[in-house]
Structure formats: structure tokens, C-alpha cells
A and B are shown apart, each in its own frame.
Chain A
Amino acid sequence: QKEVEQDPGPLSVPEGAIVSLNCTYSNSAFQYFMWYRQYSRKGPELLMYTYSSGNKEDGRFTAQVDKSSKYISLFIRDSQPSDSATYLCAMSEGSNYKLTFGKGTLLTVNP
């Protein structure tokens, strides 16, 4: 079993839809959880960062962490064509520690 599992998609939605992206993990030592967005042939861009169970909201993005179920989610409201990218979940056991990534989910938002 991989440490971090993420459905690679692809996921295609119409503009304005709510998007739900998910990852599960097996390492209970993971304490920090991140979501990165990666456009084609670019570097990952940090979207959300959290270190506790519960929800964290930033504009149209909401990150959700459930440590008891080892499950994290990213919700995108009112999705836009510019949101079309690969979304990577990442997690680590501590600050200034290596990140373990999911494989990424390719999202396309159609106008």
C-alpha cells in the first residue's frame, strides 16, 4: 500500500461546479497537510496548508482534514477554467521535513 493514495482522474467539470479532490494516507505520523496546484510544465504552487483536523477556508478553496480516518479533501467552489491543472496533495511528519506527495489529480474545468 502506498503511503499516499490519490485518484489520478482525469476529472472534467463544467464552469461553476463544485469540485471535490481527495487523498487517503496510511502513515499516522503525518501531521502537516498541503495542497499544491501544478500547471502543465510548471512547478507546484502552494494552495492550502493545515496541521489540524477540521476545515480551513481561503476564498473559493476549502481544505478538510480528518486524521481519524486518514483522509484529506480539497473543495473548489465556483470552479473556473483557470482552475484547470493537476492538484497534488502532500503531507509531512513535521515542519522542515520531507513531503510525501500523491500522484496528483488532473482537473479540467470546461467553459
Chain B
Amino acid sequence: NAGVMQNPRHLVRRRGQEARLRCSPMKGHSHVYWYRQLPEEGLKFMVYLQKENIIDESGMPKERFSAEFPKEGPSILRIQQVVRGDSAAYFCASSPEAGETDTQYFGPGTRLTVL
């Protein structure tokens, strides 16, 4: 059973360009979460999605950031007009249907560098 897949693993963008980060959850998981890890900082929640629905986006910056989890295909985190402060590791996690023992399993991350 493949784990959570993220691509690309490394992404370099110049200021003002767009960054698209992809996440394929574990098989059988329908919940996807995105987290950001800034240098010397802990993991911070950004957004929680189920198929075709955004459940909680309380951690998303109000501008330039968006996320989707379409009916078919991976979840996408999109950052428009990137700035140097967006440089970070972005992690996706997935979990199965709700239940007492469900937990979040993380992918390897995408390391975004903004030049």
C-alpha cells in the first residue's frame, strides 16, 4: 500500500511565479490536510479538504494561496505570485474516514525555494 505521494519533491520558483504542489493521499483515504514548515518553525496547519470540499481553511493566508481536492486526481496547493517568504517545506497528510483510531499520515513534502 503506497503511502502519501507528493510531487515535486523540490520546486524552485522566481518571485512572482506560480507554484503548484500536488498530493495523492493513501489508498482508501478521503481526507487531505496541508501543513507548512518554515525554517526553525514547527508544522503549521493550512487547510483541510475532502473530495470537492474545503472543510477548514483557517490556516491559509488570505491572498495568493488556494487549495482543491477534485473528484478525480490529486489535491493541489496553489501559490500565486510567490514571494521569498513562501520558501518552506509543504507537507500533505491524509486520513481515512472518521473514527476513533484515524490518524494523519504524512507525505515526504515539497521543498519550495523562491529566488
State which of B45, B91, B105 has its C-beta within 8 Å of the C-beta of A46.
Answer: B105
Which chain A residues in 66-111 approach chain B with CB under 8 Å? Answer: 88, 90, 95-104
- The number of chain B residues touching the other chain, given as a range, is 20 to 34
Please name the residue on chain A nearest to B104 by beta carbon.
Answer: A99
Please determine whether B102 and A44 come into contact, CB atoms closer than 8 angstroms: no
Could you say which residues of chain A place their CB within 8 Å of the CB of B100? Answer: 51, 95
Which stretch, B13-21, B62-70, B72-80, B106-114, touches the partner chain A? B106-114
Q: In the bound complex, how far is the Cα of B111 from the Cα of A41, in angstroms?
A: 9
Could you say which residues of chain A place their CB within 8 Å of the CB of B44? Answer: 101
> In the assembled complex, how far is the CB of residue B5 from the closest CB belonging to chain A, in whole angstroms?
11
Q: In the bound complex, how far is the Cα of B102 from the Cα of A34, in angstroms?
A: 11
Interface: A30 (CB within 8 A): no
Please determine whether B108 and A42 come into contact, CB atoms closer than 8 angstroms: yes
- The number of chain A residues touching the other chain, given as a range, is 20 to 34
Please determine whether A43 and B42 come into contact, CB atoms closer than 8 angstroms: no
Interface string of A17-47 (1 = CB under 8 A from B): 0000000000000000010100001111110
Please determine whether A96 and B98 come into contact, CB atoms closer than 8 angstroms: yes
**A-B contacts, 21 listed (Cβ < 8 Å):** A4-B42, A34-B103, A43-B6, A43-B108, A44-B91, A45-B106, A46-B104, A95-B98, A96-B31, A96-B48, A96-B98, A97-B56, A98-B56, A99-B35, A99-B43, A99-B45, A101-B35, A101-B42, A101-B43, A102-B42, A104-B42
